[in-house]
Amino acid sequence: MKVVSTSPSFAKYSNEPIEFLRSHQIEFEYLPADITEAEFIEKMQGVNAAIVAFNTISEKVLDSLPDLKIVCKHGVGVDNIDVKAAQDRGVVVTNVPNANKHAVADFAFALMLSLARKIPEANDKTKKGEWPRIFGSDVYGKTLGIVGLGMIGREVAKRAKGFDMKIVAYDPYPNDAFAAEYGIEYVQLEELLTISDFITLHMPLTPQTRNLIAEKEFALMKEEAFIVNASRGGIVSEAALYEALKNGKIAGAALDVFEEEPATDHPLFEHSNFIALPHIAGYTSGAINTLGMVCVQNIVDVLVNNKEPNHVIKL
């Protein structure tokens, strides 16, 4: 039996996941994260399980790999996997919810603080020998709008309580018990966009969420509002964000995720109130170790134990 990973962060901090596979007589190999579809199909012949980061697992890929039994997303978002096609072919798809929620929530908060206090700009200028008096915006006591109050959104809310923020949320599937416990008010998206000082997005990329935040939505926001997206590229229209920043419709934005990744030489980079990050919100050693172990346990369950693994994505 053989397993391949296209996730460069798989087993980065500890060899334990690979040793676990070997202890079950399962071979392991890394493939490059930016592998082409044709190369992936060629290298995956005879392979039984794939641990994937962002390469696309399309219907064509699945049809070309008759020995493939399980595809494990090394993370949460399965927007790069054709789950329906996999399900139709009896290939199990799993993800790892929960493991990187603290890492992403910490990161989203770091981005809000960085925007509000202009930390990247202050750092750049100080290192250039300047000693600038840079004035920022308050975070403490402000209104936070969380779009998508799932695992990660709820962790962001917990952190926001420590900053005494008023929290509003929009989510089509409300969690009333959590909202009551943390004093969160569910509102419609339009209201959230209108009243929030900070807006943070934490939902999957789906046909319904693609371009959820576009020209009309930016027009609703306060001029002093900041928006953070550490969920998926494509949920915020980058063209609309470019115009919103250019025309001073909002105060600033930070993206950890882009419509096309890697994002290099992007028009948004010209805005000084725009922070760009290379899709690293989930990257901490704690998160990565857990992700790896959950993936390999699921693989062993399918290939060796003949049992249903955890976190199967079912449509």
Ligand X SMILES: O=C(O)CCC(=O)C(=O)O
Ligand Y SMILES: NC(=O)C1=CN([C@@H]2O[C@H](COP(=O)(O)OP(=O)(O)OC[C@H]3O[C@@H](n4cnc5c(N)ncnc54)[C@H](O)[C@@H]3O)[C@@H](O)[C@H]2O)C=CC1
If one asks whether residue 68 binds ligand Y (CB under 6 A), the answer comes out as no
User: Can you read off the two tokens belonging to residue 140?
Assistant: 């403490």
Long-range contacts of 282-286 (CB under 8 A, 24+ apart): 282/75, 282/76, 282/100, 282/103, 282/104, 282/107, 283/9, 283/103, 284/100, 284/102, 284/103, 284/106, 285/13, 286/102, 286/103
Residues between 266 and 285 with contacts to ligand Y, criterion CB under 6 A: 279, 281-282
* Nearest CB to ligand Y, comparing residues 48 and 298: 298
Q: Which does 74 bind (CB under 5 to 8 A by kind): ligand Y, ligand X, none?
A: ligand X
Nearest to ligand X of 76, 213 (CB atom): 76
- Select from 265, 273, 279, 267 the least CA-distant residue to 230: 279
Angle between helices 151-162 and 101-117 (to 10 degrees): 50
Q: Which is nearer to ligand Y, 136 or 204 (CB)?
A: 204
In the complex, the smallest distance separating the C-beta of residue 129 from ligand Y, rounded to whole angstroms, is 34
* Residues numbered 239-268 forming contacts with ligand Y, rule: CB under 6 A: 256-257
Catalytically annotated residue among 232, 259, 270, 308: 232
Q: Are 208 and 183 in contact (CB under 8 A)?
A: no
- Taking contact as CB under 6 A, which single stretch among the options 14-22, 60-68, 119-127, 149-157 is the one that binds ligand Y? 149-157
Question: What whole-number distance in Å separates Cα of residue 73 and Cα of residue 97?
Answer: 10
CA atoms within 13 A on the CB side of 275: 29
Partner from ligand Y, ligand X, none contacting 82, C-beta within 5 to 8 A by type: none
* Window contacting ligand Y (CB under 6 A); options: 36-44, 133-141, 202-210, 295-303: 202-210
Decide: 2 and 46 in contact? Cβ < 8 Å: yes
Q: How far apart are CA 59 and CA 247, in angstroms?
A: 42
Q: Where is 49: in which H helix or E strand?
A: strand 49-52
Q: Is 279 one of the catalytic residues? A: yes
Whether the upstream peptide bond of residue 17 has omega within 30° of 0, thus cis, is no
Residues across the chain: 315
Nearest residue to ligand Y, by Cβ distance, number only: 150
- Is 261 among the catalytic positions? yes
How far is the C-alpha of 168 from the C-alpha of 105, rounded, in Å?
A: 16
The residue behind tokens 């915020």 is 236
* 42 is annotated as an active-site residue: no
Which of ligand Y, ligand X, none lies near 233, with the C-beta cut-off 5 to 8 A by kind?
none
Q: Which is nearer to ligand Y, 171 or 197 (CB)?
A: 171
The distance of closest approach from Cβ of residue 146 to ligand X in the complex, given in angstroms and rounded to an integer, is: 17
Task: List residues binding ligand X (CB under 6 A).
Answer: 7, 9, 53, 74-77, 100, 282
Nearer CB in complex with ligand Y: 49/149: 149
Could you tell me the smallest distance in angstroms from the CB atom of residue 41 to ligand Y? 25
105 binds ligand Y (CB under 6 A): no
Work out whether 75 is an interface residue with ligand Y (CB under 6 A).
yes
Shortest Cβ 213–ligand Y spacing (Å): 10
Which positions are catalytic?
232, 261, 279
